Amino acid sequence: MIAYVIVGVDDVARAKEFYSTFLPALGYELEEGPEGLSYTLPVQPGQSPVMPDFYVKPPFDGRPATTANGSMVAFEARNQKQVRDLHAAALVAGGSDEGQPGFRASYGPQFYVGYLRDPQGNKIALFSSNPNEPGRDG
């Protein structure tokens, strides 16, 4: 199980504007600290933490943040409309489009996805595989 994911950023305030447009809608709560942003899923009393946490922080070594070619973090939305809405909101909040929401021929018939880059250039996917919605072929 993946416990947490960290993306490096140079401008935490700009990253907060971007990530706060869609992560709360997916159930994540934000905690800000001197080290950056921590987005976590709420834990009910007596339950184990829900994974993974998502952290947005300047690099620990103090050097500029860089993006990894081939790396991406994907977040699951409830449905196709939420993918479209959150993708659009993230673009307004400083993200850049890496692929408009829609079906992709190389994935399963229910996999609906939109791709973004955060203001730093980290690649993000918002997807839904809701079996109760029309698929690519239907």
Per-residue pLDDT of the chain (138 residues; tens, 9 = 90+): 799 999 999 999 999 999 999 999 999 999 999 999 999 999 989 998 889 999 999 999 999 999 988 999 999 999 999 999 999 999 999 999 999 999 998 999 999 999 999 999 999 999 999 999 999 886
> Angle CA(58)–CA(63)–CA(65) in degrees, nearest 5?
50
What confidence score (pLDDT) does residue 138 get?
Answer: 64
What confidence score (pLDDT) does residue 19 get?
Answer: 98
What confidence score (pLDDT) does residue 12 get?
Answer: 97
In a domain, 111, yes or no: yes
Give the structural domain span for 85: 4-128
In a domain, 17, yes or no: yes
CB environment 18-56: b (16+ within 10 A), e (fewer): bbbbbbebbebeeeeeeebbbbbeeeeeeeeeeeebbbb
Per the structure, the count of domains in the chain is 1
CATH code of the domain containing 22:
3.10.180.10
In a domain, 41, yes or no: yes
In a domain, 48, yes or no: yes
In a domain, 135, yes or no: no
In a domain, 134, yes or no: no
